[in-house]
Structure 1
């Protein structure tokens, strides 16, 4: 993986339930797991017809250096938007990661 191709910056966030307040309400908390340099391999938008009408789905594939412990429950923050991770694929023997993500609504 050539470092010159890693021209974007992404942040990987992890969900935690947080602590309950005085009324017992638990607010979800997203904490930053890591900030990484990344490459956009592919970015596309597709339109789908669903029961509630037409909707667009933006899919982006990010390629980055290896980071242990990234799972589908995490999300990516990139350019003022959040992307839900749908697939985590290892490149080589822990050389890098390919993250397939869908833009959150």
Structure 2
């Protein structure tokens, strides 16, 4: 992986629970890591759901290895939040291939 290919910033976030002032429990996303990444594949499609068509954006990035990332985490890229739907370790903790998906209007 060449440093010149790592042109995108990805921010990894993990969900935590916080007590709201009202006493309820809120889900809060906290940043756990940042990495420079190479965009390997990206695209948008439309899927039919119960309430009509929904836009789906899928991206695949390669980044240097970041320990502790799981499918329960999410990625912020370009101001949008993406769910992690796949993680693959490349080599012996040399890099990660991260498959992302965002569903929205």
TM-score by length of 1: 0.91
Map of 2:48 onto structure 1? 49
Deviation (angstroms), 1:100: 0.4
Structure 2: distance between partners of 1:23 and 1:44: 41
Deviation (angstroms), 1:34: 0.6
Map of 2:96 onto structure 1? 97
Unaligned runs of 5+ in 2: none
Map of 1:33 onto structure 2? 32
RMSD: 1.2
Unaligned runs of 5+ in 1: none
Number of positions where the alignment pairs a residue of Structure 1 with one of Structure 2: 104
Matches within 5 A, 1:76-95: 76-95=75-94
| Runs of 4+ deviating beyond 4 Å | none
TM-score by length of 2: 0.91
